[in-house]
Amino acid sequence: MPIYEYACSACGHKFEALVRSGTQPQCPACQSPELDKLLSVFATTTTQAAPTMPNPCQSCSHANGPGGCGMN
């Protein structure tokens, strides 16, 4: 059962509704079935910063030592 965002064409009220298949939602403010489905935007939150990658020239264990990578 997806959650959709709607705007009522009759009164302008914006709301979210959990819609079951085969049902027509109505505006909770005026009970009008004349609704416009809005584009939903989902949000994400992070609690930590993205990890930083090590410097590629000092992260490998190349035989020539740090900074002696054959990729240079």
- Order of strands across the sheet that contains 14-18: 14-18, 3-8, 35-37
Domain span including residue 11: 3-37
Residue 20 domain-assigned (yes or no):
yes
Residue 50 domain-assigned (yes or no):
no
Residue 65 domain-assigned (yes or no):
no
Residue 69 domain-assigned (yes or no):
no
- pLDDT, tens only, 29-58: 999 999 999 987 666 666 777 666 666 565
What local confidence, expressed as pLDDT, does residue 9 receive?
A: 95
Residue 29 domain-assigned (yes or no):
yes
The total number of structural domains in the chain stands at 1
Residue 54 domain-assigned (yes or no):
no
What local confidence, expressed as pLDDT, does residue 48 receive?
A: 73
Residue 18 domain-assigned (yes or no):
yes
Residue 63 domain-assigned (yes or no):
no
- pLDDT, tens only, 8-35: 999 999 999 988 888 899 999 999 999 9
Cα angle: 43, vertex 33, 2; to 5 degrees:
30
What local confidence, expressed as pLDDT, does residue 32 receive?
A: 96
What local confidence, expressed as pLDDT, does residue 59 receive?
A: 58
